[in-house]
Structure 1
Amino acid sequence: MKRKIEIVLAIVLVCALMSSVPVRGEYTTTATTKLLVEKTPDSQAILKAMDARIIEEYDSFYFVEIPAGNAGRIARYCTTISDNWDEIALQWATFTLKNEPALPDELRIDDGTSPYYILKMHAMPKSVWLDTLRDMGCAVYDYIPHNAFVVKIPENARNAVLSLPFVEGAITYQPAYKLSYILKSLPDEKTQAYLEVYAGENWQDVVERLITAGGEDVMVHYEADGTRNTLISATLTPSMLRTVLKWPEIYLVDKKLEQKIVNDVAGEIIMARPAWSSENTSFGVDLMGTNQIVGVLDTGLDSGNLNTLRGDFRLGPLGQRVVSLSAVSGVDADDEDGHGTHVAGSVMGNGYLSEQYWGGNVNDHNYIRSYAGIAPEAKLAFRACGTSTGGISTNMNYYNDLQYLYNQGARITSTSIGADASGAYTTDSRSIDQLAWTYKDLTIHFANGNEGPSASTVGSPATAKDLLAVGASMNLRPEMGSDGMDANAMVDFSSRGPCTDGRIKPDISAPGTWIVSVVSAASTQGSGTSNENWGWGAVLDTNGDGKPEYEYMGGTSMATPITAGSSVLVRQYYTDVLGIPTPSSALIRATQINGASDMGYGYPSNEQGWGRV
């Protein structure tokens, strides 16, 4: 009986397939499309029935070419992914091998005059293919969507490379293709530019040629290593810029953007405070950031002296918690602006001065009755980069300075600095992704920007891919007016996505209005406790000297350290509760995104990202 049932079911299945799957060769159209198709026990038979040609086979899927009319029908039986697989997507333009754009003479060179090519493969690259290219003397550089790389091909190997079975074709890497999204309309005035020189090329020679040609402010930010090219900046005239684009050693030219600085209630909104006590959770551990180090790159920290920092950073049950305080070349570590101190207090301040003022026990590991930050027992590595005039030092380099904080032990970083980029992926964004690739246990947070509410106003480097770009929702302080009325609403100034390449930003959001945190002792904001003198308003003057110790501020700058502090608690959960000694950035970011709350904009959206922390 069981055998008969199996036969009947098989006949029913065959009939169902015959009723909806075309007979092989039924479609006579020559139009085809390419798909990723999930590999299942039946997928080969289904592909054959639908006249699909398997281009490449992988562990869990096939890459196929199929008659366009069958592309939708195959999805009834197999999971498929479609994309514009034939396209080459650069910041400057998107095109195909068969439809390369016409270029003006100032943005093109003749074929064969440069060894650098865009080499397109016929399917998703396999590591063995890249090894083959390297064995033939090629240097393989960046991946370009879809299924292409920038490759330096020796002249004597060109024909052999183009004959490889996995190579679909190659085109010269033209000067136009080196232009970033921001520079694709060539400027008619002097431009501060970033120039990437291929690893393996003589960057010293490039510097000499720039200086000889009249380039100004020439600076080498870092030399090539195993993960990045040499980065140089210079101020170039329009004619020099056009000349430099044709130098074969140059990989990418981007505009150097000007960088700028862009919590008791907030801790309740994001549910950080309940996690401080194991009585409120099933973890058996007080999640306060204990034994975690958070890194902050910002204007400065308080007095700039470890011995005289505010009590919120160096007093209380754990004593001194600032493990490293340094500054980039040419600036001091103190914080005349006040921005960096407020940020640091939001992420790891312990509220010492406020608890002392209100008569609490400052040594009992209980921070509820204070203006403590999100991770009040975390340690801090701080890197100052603010100038005395309120700007950001040109000596600041995101990769180098965040790498420095990593070397001081930081595995979570918070940076509330950026540049207006209108959603473009910039050299700084690329630098952050290179850093994240190199240090896979470093979770990086950046402010999304304060240029909202219009679309595509995301700043740089928040447009990077391997970080958490943080938008600002409202705090719940109705007494403060419209920006404190609704904890489930984004504030207007928070920059919105998408990026220019279509990616959703921000990644996540957190309260960013009326955030209480520490005032820098070195602040030159003003005097007296009048609200207009201190950020968004003075909060508490604990010693009556006319200068508050806490103030309100707002912006995605404030939302970012709140999110970073939350990530510190998440990391402590993985290390102390689950026993994972080195949780990856991918794990922590995934945890944050999956735990975020939809504020009513939908998952995901270009207002809130994946929701509020």
Structure 2
Amino acid sequence: MNRTPLALVVTVIAGSALGAPLQFKAGTVDPSTITDVRTAMQAGERLPTRVLVQLDGPMDADRRAAIEASGARVLDYIPTNAFVLDIRRARMEALDVLPFVERVIAFDAAWKVSPDLGFRQYETPEMRALTASGDVPAVVTLFPGADSAAAANAARDAGLRVVSTQLEGDRFMLEVLGAPAAVRSLSAHDGVQWIEPAPEITFRNSTNRWIVQSNINGSYPVYDAGIRGEGQLIAVMDGRVAVNHCSFSDPEGDPIGPNHRKIQAYNTSLGYDFHGTHVAGTALGDSGTNNDARGVAYNARLVFNVTPSFSYSAVFNRLSTHYSQGAAIHTNSWGNDGTVAYDNMCRAIDDFSWQNDDNLVIFAVTNTSTLKNPENAKNLLAVGASQDNPNQGSFCSGGQGTTSDGRRKPEIFAPGCSTRSSTGSSGCSTTTATGTSMAAPAIAGAAALVRQYYTDGFYPTGSAQAEDAFIPSGTLIKATLLNSTVDMTGIAGYPSNREGWGRVLLDNALYFEGDSRYNIVRDVRNGSNEALSTGDVIEIPFTVNSNMEELRVTMVFHDAPAATNASFAPVNNLDLELDSPFGFQLLGNVFSGGFSNTGGTADAINNVEMIRMANPLPGDYVVRVRGTAVNIGQQGYAVVISGDVTENNFPGCSAADLAEPYGTLNIFDIQAYIGLYNTQDDSADLAAPFGVFNIFDLQEYINQYNLGCP
């Protein structure tokens, strides 16, 4: 990938949040009313193995290093500015002297139990049968590092049936069944972090191809550029896909696998389900002719498994399996309409996306009136359904947001009303179906086309160039899709909690040779050298050449998964800003009348932020991404800028610029020079007497470093 230099990283000091409340799902807690465990330490009492530490502001890299130097391990974030620590190997005296630590308190059992436990009403026969005797199915999440066998024994001792024990990311989950009081009693076990009701998963029920590309009947600009899904794999979790339907069959008779025409992997027994076959057909089906059995990314191929039962870990593990089989786009037309909570299923999706940021997970939102679960997860792309031609600007189906903690969902729409796609266990039949289930695979197909745009090297020239090819992150694919959206005229207000950012229109955000609308992108992975910590800021300078095109800027990041106990899911906070050459600044997500407005406050909770200007005046602008509060890890991000724009490359830095990100002088450049100096590389020999490595070379490097970047 051709990378453009980033601007200087600037550090700012975060403000204090002295005495901020702790926001648990079980209730809001005033930490000042709880005894600090350091008092117990001074009295010689035994300390708990896990504690909650509240800081005087957000976490940053230096604070994390100091905490970890004490031997403590940071496990999770609890709003506000509090962190779950494993202190089994900690030196408490080292933790005690840290000036930014306000309090250290024990993790109370009352914070471990969902208020919904024992009160959820189930609908499916399977779940009703499980609960008929008065027992409740529940999922018990353990702290990272906790002994799963000990927790399972404790559950059995309480009279519970342990259905399964599975690893999800860095922590075990137990599925248990038993009396509500017995389930609640597990909160006293040291290794238990959270207990909640098991989820209930249900399904969410040709014009798509041109509507998502151009919205002009018969116009396929993305196909015309040679992008039809070649080289892309889409993962579908749904009912069984009919492998003998003409949309998926292989006329040559090749077995399922790398040589099969349409199916890379089928991770369960073969069979037929109407819903799964219809969904897969919309995303990637191809009968070989331009008819209703052809999907949006019709040259993409399928990785498949059925939906999980009530296992959160199965969601994480199936996503991971599909990724290991080559799929980076994952479409899901099912959900849990029994809750609006950010639960373990949401956390599993966010955790997968946080750890594997090449991926984009897509979910259909509920067809009920109110947003449900797991479309309320932070990192997935939540999809609603618009009407079909000629009313594609109107609403069809989808629950209205916000999420329970105020975030904007749904995010994007595609046609899902009377969508025609594949049906039948064999043959080439098609039929119509309606619902968000039909819209999500259309977005998945569009996402595969966007991914191919980058993997084939269309950015930045607008034509396929092998030397420009790169693998985009899921955040860049999501940002590109959202940057393409149009207001649905049949829904009042934009953006809104009904339509999110609107209906996808790919031609708005994919630049091809000859187009008047150009793109500038940034793609930074979580944990990379270019990722942000608290106080870091990056700048992207560019020029608006005319006011003939709308200017749109979209920033997306995959946030760290929230603690399952927390009532507030956001963990890290990046903010988007735009400085104009005329003295005003625009902030992400501050809108009036469908376009950005001056004033307002930075958005502290959404991991999608957008700025729109209908008729931007020509001049030099600067987009800025600010690391306002990065409490867990180092935060990656993606930015897409679209309009009649030209990127302004910074002049080169001094000779001291030795390491990525180029255009910025920082500790990585110093480390690179020290490495060259220690190996007596000729490039480190900067001063006379040449041929000798000494203090004069080091002084000359410091001089070069202090010259900085223009």
TM-score, normalised relative to structure 1: 0.69
The one of 56, 59, 63 equivalent to 2:10 is: 59
Superposition deviation, residue 99 in structure 1: 5.5
1:590 is displaced (CA, Å) by 0.8
Alignment correspondent of 1:574: 454
Instruction: Tell me the amino acid that sits aligned with residue 298 of structure 1.
Output: D
The 5-angstrom pairing of residues 223-372 of structure 1 reads: 227-262=169-204, 264-271=206-213, 280=221, 285-303=225-243, 308-314=244-250, 320-327=261-268, 332-335=269-272, 337-352=273-288, 355=289, 367=290, 369-372=291-294
Query: Aligned partners of 1:410 and 1:268: how far apart in 2?
Result: 24
Q: Matched residue of 1:414: which SS?
A: strand
Q: Say which structure is richer in helix.
A: 1
CA distance in 2, matches of 1:62, 1:420: 42
Does residue 361 of structure 2 align to residue 419 of structure 1? no
Q: Deviations over 1:140-191 (max 9, x none)?
A: 1111222211112249744542331111212221122223464497999532
Match of 1:376 among 294, 298, 304: 298
* 1:197 corresponds to 2:133: no
Match of 1:482 in 2: none
Percentage identity across paired residues of the two chains: 28
Shift of 1:113: 6.4
Tell me how far apart the structure 1 counterparts of residues 242 and 18 of structure 2 sit (CA, whole Å).
52
**Contact 1:273–1:374 at 8 Å: present in 2 too?**
no
- Find the aligned partners of 1:285 and 1:134 in 2 and give their Cα distance: 51
**Residue 475 (1) aligns with residue 396 (2):** no
CA–CA separation in structure 2 for the residues paired with 1:143 and 1:396: 21
Q: Offset of 1:462 from its aligned partner?
A: 1.2
| Counterpart-to-counterpart distance in 1, 2:164 and 2:276 | 26
Query: Against the structure 1 CA distance between its residues 121 and 186, is the aligned structure 2 distance closer, same or farther, given a 3 Å change threshold?
Result: farther
| C-alpha contact (below 8 Å) 1:416/1:560 kept by paired residues | yes
Structure 1 match to 2:320: 403
Kept after mapping to 2: 8 A contact 1:301/1:334: yes
Residue 61 of structure 1: how far off its partner (Å) = 2.6
- Could you tell me which of 86, 92, 95 is aligned with 2:26? 92
CA drift of 1:272 comes to: 6.2
Letter in 1 for 2:238: D
Deviation track 1:172-215 (CA, whole Å, cap 9, x = no partner) reads: 21122223464497999532111111222211111122123221
Q: What TM-score results when the alignment is normalised by the length of structure 2?
A: 0.60
- Map Cα deviations across residues 22-78 of structure 1 (whole Å, 9 max, x no partner): xxxxxxxxxxxxxxxxxxxxxxxxxxxxxxxxxxxx93433236xxxxxxxxxxxxx
2:494 equivalent to 1:494: no
Instruction: Compare relative contact order (CA 8 Å, sep 6+) and give the higher one, 1 or 2.
Output: 2
Describe the SS at the equivalent of 2:336: strand
Contact 1:118 1:172 in 2 (8 A): yes
1:599 corresponds to 2:484: no
C-alpha distance in structure 1 between counterparts of 2:305 and 2:20, whole Å: 45
Tell me if structure 2 keeps the 8 A contact 1:300–1:385. no
- SS of alignment partner, residue 398 of structure 2: coil
1:373 counterpart letter in structure 2: G
Q: Kindly state the Cα deviation for residue 464 of structure 1 after the two structures are TM-superposed.
A: 0.9
Question: Does the CA-based 8 Å contact 2:19-2:32 persist in structure 1?
Answer: no
Is the contact made by 1:182 and 1:424 (CA closer than 8 Å) also made in structure 2?
no
Deviations 1:466-508 (A, max 9, x none): 110111222236xxxxxxxx322222x4111111111111121
1:175 and 2:109 matched: yes
Contact 1:385 1:393 in 2 (8 A): no
Relative to structure 1, the CA distance from residue 165 to residue 497 in structure 2 (aligned partners, 3 Å threshold; closer, same or farther) is same
1:119 to 50, 53, 56: 53
Secondary structure of the 2:261 match is: coil
CA contact (8 A) 2:292 2:421 kept: no
Separation (CA, whole Å) in 1 of partners of 2:502 and 2:312: 35
Deviation at 1:413, TM superposition (A): 0.8
Give the paired residue count: 459
Residues 1:612 and 2:516 are matched in the alignment: no
2:158 is aligned to 213
Secondary structure of 1:301's aligned partner? coil
Which residue among 462, 465, 480 is the counterpart of 2:378?
465
Measure, in 2, the Cα distance between the counterparts of 1:138 and 1:270.
50
Q: How has the CA–CA distance of structure 1 residues 315 and 155 changed in structure 2, closer, same or farther, with 3 Å as cutoff?
A: closer
**Structure 2 residue 473 is the aligned partner of structure 1 residue 584:** yes
Question: Equivalents in 2 of 1:144, 1:403: separation in Å?
Answer: 26
Kept in 2: contact 1:313–1:349 (CA 8 A):
no
User: What letter is aligned with 1:143?
Assistant: Y
Offset at residue 443 of structure 1 (A): 0.8
Q: Which residue of 2 aligns with 1:445?
A: 362
Take 1:274 and 1:287, find their aligned partners in 2: how far apart are those partners? 18
Q: Among 67, 75, 84, which residue is 1:150 paired with?
A: 84
